[in-house]
Amino acid sequence: MDYKNLLLEKKGQIAFVIINRPEVLNALNKDTLIEIKAVFDDLAADPEIRVIILTGSGEKSFVAGADISFMQPMTALEAYEFGSFAQDAFMSIEGNPKPVIAAINGYALGGGCEIAMACDLRIASDKAKFGQPEINLGTIPGFAGTQRLPRLVGKTKAKELIYLGEMIDAEEAYRIGLVNKVVPAEQLLAEAEKIAEKIVAKSGIALKLAKSAIDTGLETDFLTGQNIEAQLFGLTFATEDQKEGMSAFLEKRKAEFKNR
């Protein structure tokens, strides 16, 4: 697929997906969402790619939100369909079998905060800003922000951010658990790549199963989650990587995983 609103770069086993609409601060319209879903579905099936890094083009914005000029004339039904489509596109990120790291280089507002929350890890530039400002436009988050935000920062803090519609800086986002790490702007991509390289060195099968255990288990009761974990834990013992990992530990050497 040829991408008009994205850039796709591959460096070894790491893919860089760059949302590329700098003239509108990388705001999301439907065409961009179509491309996001397509690229993450393609990368999920790419055997050469182990980790995906998502970022925005330019220095100002990761994703400034949904494209307001695109949304403003929508009917209620059209808005419902647009929100549902965006939710589906973001599930191609959250549900991707490969770890996804958001490298947040600037504004992550509205849909930008929501797409970042769909990623597994979030590394923020010290210049990044976060928020769900939809209330200021007479609406509410529509790309699963009301669902992911409280799961990440807690119900009360999520209500504060959504009710007030105010921006927070990267340090506050780190304090409340919205991001994993804050780094100087000039180090952002290098830090994201450094983390990605550490992940690449692990067993791809174990990473996939760990992600499934966490994400699936969180949507169930604790006892069901434990059972899911036990099943996936057991499944790793059918892999060559488990044999290699434990043998390497006992032999006091570095494991060389083959993702089998």
Residue 238, class by beta-carbon neighbours within 10 Å (0-12 exposed, 13-18 middle, 19+ buried)? exposed
Please report, for residues 174, 180, 194, the alpha-carbon distance to residue 153 in angstroms, rounded to integers and kept in the order given: 10, 12, 26
Identify the sign of the CA torsion 168, 174, 176, 178: positive
Q: Would you mind telling me the total number of residues written for the chain in this entry?
A: 260
Catalytic residue among 48, 78, 94, 134: 134
Catalytic residue among 35, 94, 114, 191: 114
- Told to judge if 134 belongs to the known catalytic residues of this protein, a careful annotator would answer yes
Going by C-alpha positions, the residue among 234, 243, 244, 101 that lies closest to residue 180 is 101
Q: In the structure, how many helices (H) and strands (E) does the chain have? A: 11, 10
To 10 degrees, what angle do helices 155-164 and 145-153 make?
Answer: 130
Please report, for residues 18, 93, 202, 239, the alpha-carbon distance to residue 253 in angstroms, rounded to integers and kept in the order given: 37, 34, 14, 19
Residue type, 5: N
Question: Which residues are CB-contacts of 157 (< 8 A; sequence separation ≥ 6)?
Answer: 150, 176
8 Å CB contact between 111 and 70: no
Q: How many CB atoms lie within 10 A of CB 167?
A: 17
- Told to judge if 114 belongs to the known catalytic residues of this protein, a careful annotator would answer yes
Residues taking part in catalysis: 114, 134
